[in-house]
Amino acid sequence: MKILLKTSKVVNFFIILYRISRDQDSFSNISDGLIDFKMAKEDRQNLKKTFKINLDPEVAILKEERLSEIYNKNKQFWEEYYKDNLETLSEIVNELQRRLDKFNFEKFKKVERFFDITPKEKINVYVCIGNGSKASIGNAFKPNICSIMPRDFISYSKESLDKDFAVLIHELVHLYQDKVSDEKDFVEIVTRSFAPRGILINKSKIEQISMQKKMLPLIERAIKENKTYFDIRNDLIDIFNKDNK
């Protein structure tokens, strides 16, 4: 599996708008300077379409009339903001690359077996600026693109980047779930059993009282016995449902 860390002012801009339009984040530090930037459902679908068909979607995004219109209206403000923070972004990318180089991706064979999917040849990870919160922000766009917004990026630290990297691993796991169509919240918990605290990374830091902790033995046993997610899906759903009562 080849993972490329990439940056793109256009992709970065629309990742922010994508999350604002889904009420996932406000990005008030940026949105206060934008005009006419709201993305309708159709706009989001067009954005996801460019990610699905193109590993380097910047040109494809700007060929979408409505998306291009939104970008051009905000181009001066956004590109000045991006330029002002480009040095910090470059430093963060270098730090995340160091962590990628050290990570043992042989571990992902467990992910491939469990979700019954062939290895990914290439994944592009867009590292984005703009997140002023205390939590890392990630998105996965199947089949081969994901994004990571490091937490509190202006004052990042070794500790914050370690956490960001673990969230990056979490988003990579999502890209291996092409065959999974279950309820989003349930799939999220299963994914957390792998990362940011689980089978692939930071296993010792997994919360003792959590659904992940309860799912972990089932998933590890399934992997050891060459069973898949689909073999133990109902057992995992039982844990999820009991904890959500």
Condensed to tens digits (0 to 9), the pLDDT of residues 65-89 reads: 999 999 999 999 999 999 999 999 9
* Predicted pLDDT of residue 55: 76
**Domain match, 32 and 146 both:** yes
Q: How confident is the model at residue 28 (pLDDT cuts 50, 70, 90)?
A: confident
pLDDT of 180 above 80: yes
Q: Is 46 in the same domain as 145?
A: yes
| pLDDT confidence tier of residue 206, bands split at 50, 70 and 90 | confident
Based on the fold, state whether residues 81 and 189 are members of the same structural domain: no
Domains in the chain, number: 2
Same domain membership, residue 186 and residue 140: no
Dihedral of CA 50/21/176/241: which sign?
negative
Residue 27 has pLDDT above 80, yes or no: yes
Q: Which two tokens stand for residue 10?
A: 């256009």
Query: Do 165 and 198 fall within a single domain?
Result: no
What does the pLDDT read at residue 202? 94
Same domain, 8 and 127: yes
Decide: helix, strand or coil at residue 188: helix
Distance, C-alpha 169 to centroid of its chain = 8
Q: Please tell me whether residues 97 and 206 are part of one structural domain.
A: no
DSSP 201: S
Nearest CA to 13 out of 33, 2, 23, 197 is that of 33
Which residue range is the domain that position 169 belongs to?
2-179
**One domain, residues 153 and 90:** yes
Claim to verify: residue 80 and residue 175 sit in the same structural domain: yes
CB neighbourhood size of 10 (10 A): 20
Q: Residue 180, class by beta-carbon neighbours within 10 Å (0-12 exposed, 13-18 middle, 19+ buried)?
A: middle
For tokens 């918990």, name the residue.
189
Residue 245 has pLDDT above 80, yes or no: no
Instruction: Judge contact between 75 and 37, C-beta under 8 A.
Output: no
Contacting residues for 104 by C-beta, under 8 A, at least 6 apart? none
Mean pLDDT of 217-238: 96
pLDDT band at 151 (very low <50, low <70, confident <90, very high): very high
- Domain closes at, from 132, 152, 179: 179
- Grade residue 44 by pLDDT with cuts at 50, 70 and 90: very high
Three-point CA angle 169, 173, 179, nearest 5°: 170
Choosing from 163, 179, 195, the residue where a domain stops is 179
What pLDDT, on a 0 to 100 scale, did the predictor assign at position 207? 82
Q: How far apart are the first and last CA of the chain?
A: 40
Structure tokens at 186: 């349930």
- Say yes or no: 55 and 162 in one domain: yes
| Rounded-to-integer distance, Cα 242 and Cα 25, Å | 29
pTM: 0.94
pLDDT band of residue 23 (cuts 50, 70, 90) is confident
Where does the pLDDT of residue 56 fall: very low under 50, low under 70, confident under 90, or very high at 90 and above?
confident
CA distances for 97 relative to 112, 140, 151, 164, 174, angstroms: 23, 19, 17, 12, 20
pLDDT-derived band at 244 (thresholds 50, 70, 90) equals confident
- For residue 230, what pLDDT is reported? 97
**Residue 132 pLDDT:** 86
Q: Is residue 82 domain-shared with residue 131, that is, in the same domain?
A: yes
- The reply to whether 174 and 188 lie within a common domain is no
Give the DSSP H/E element, type plus range, for residue 144.
none
The residues pairing with 3 across neighbouring beta strands, listed in sequence order, are 123
Mean pLDDT of 172-198: 96
